[in-house]
Amino acid sequence: MINPFVTNGYAGPEYFCDRVQETAILRDLLLNENNVALISPRRLGKTGLIWHVFNNEDIRNSHYCFVVDIYATKNLSDFVNMLGKAVIDELRPKGKKAWEKFINIVSSLRSEISFDVHGVPSWNMGLGTINNNPAVTLDEIFSYLNQADKPCLVAIDEFQQITKYEDDTIEATIRTYVQRCTNAHFIFSGSQRHIMNGMFTSPSRPFYQSVTIMNLQPLDLEVYTDFCVGKFEEADKRLDRNVVALLYNRFDAVTSYMHRILNVLYSKTEKGQECKPEMVDEAIDFILRLSSDTYESLYYQMPEKQRMLFLAIAREGKASSITGGAFINKHKLNSASSVNSALKGLLEKDFITVNKNIYSVYDQFFPLWLKFKGII
């Protein structure tokens, strides 16, 4: 039996917890030809929900479903690359009839698409490859979506990333293509709430009033606890319900962190034995030891002023008024302008996050590692 607390990707409905109402709402919106903006903090389960909905039989049998993660993209060229790769990866296992039409339409890159010994295509281009005229390729991909032999559903994950592109017309460009694409509907998924809300609710922005907005909330504690206890019981193991409550409160109900720790706890609990709250810290330390080199590298690569501000926010847990004299004096920082400069760098690199002017370290394991190493 595989570990039911999956830490990477979507493993199937039996490993997916709840979201019954959200699944039904998103499924119905898509089947009724709506575009959707799905907004929540990262690691709360947006991508898993999308895959879960796309795995629904009504949708899977009647649509082509594409999931595009644009978090690492920096420009239109990268965006087009990831979109094209998502399309070819989805169509490849469906046979020649499915992918041949796409290959024929995307003529600008036909010479770049390779084929294996069985004649099956592969999208081997890395980020930065499509440099000549990505706008032409984008037009071709949307042309395919409009001509595909099935309706298409396209989920673009971390959609707020396009606001960081140098091309300030990118929102209008994509909005125009989406508006004209009658054979496809879209999920725009994003984790930076203030940016996503601005994109879809500001009258001056191209995507204004073009989508139905869904805000994803944390899982209900009782429902999540029942799921976790049930998975332990299926393997003849027991889980103290207080373990889940402890993790839920400690990690602000963020599913990814809880699942990662429960993955370790599940593996360390023998059949017939019970997982108890006192095992939690040992599991966290196990994760921190495995990740120590990564965190150490990230920490020491930060410029000094960014590192000092990062430590200050990590000590606070949730920090406000960080350019105020009280915060600066308490943490022995430089001037407000120096804090603002460091803050910009930390936000751009996703080392910290902000919600309603409250700053916190984005990766909740990072402050734990700082404590584990005795740095704070």
Domain 19-215 matching CATH 3.40.50.2020: the answer reads no
- Identify which of 171, 166, 169, 112 has the alpha carbon closest to the alpha carbon of residue 140: 112
What is the average pLDDT value for the chain, to the nearest integer?
A: 93
Indicate if the pLDDT at residue 144 is higher than 60: yes
pLDDT at residue 317, rounded to an integer: 95
Residue 362 confidence class, pLDDT cut points 50, 70, 90: very high
Residue 174 CB contacts under 8 Å (≥ 6 apart), including other chains:
162, 206
Distance of CA 345 to the CA centre of its chain: 21
Nearest Cα residue to 29 out of 37, 39, 40, 20: 37
Q: What is the mean pLDDT of residues 246-269?
A: 97
| pLDDT at residue 129 is higher than 60 | no
CATH number of 302-372: 1.10.10.10
Say yes or no to pLDDT of 9 above 90: no
* Residue 294, helix vs strand vs coil: helix
* Burial class for 83, CB neighbours closer than 10 Å (0-12, 13-18, 19+): buried
Report d(CA 167, CA 78) in Å as an integer: 13
pLDDT at 245 over 50: yes
Helix (H, G, I), strand (E, B) or coil at 73: coil
Furthest C-alpha separation in the chain: 67
Percent of the chain scored above 90 by pLDDT? 82
Check residue 132 and give its pLDDT. 65
**Calpha distance 64→260 (Å, rounded):** 31
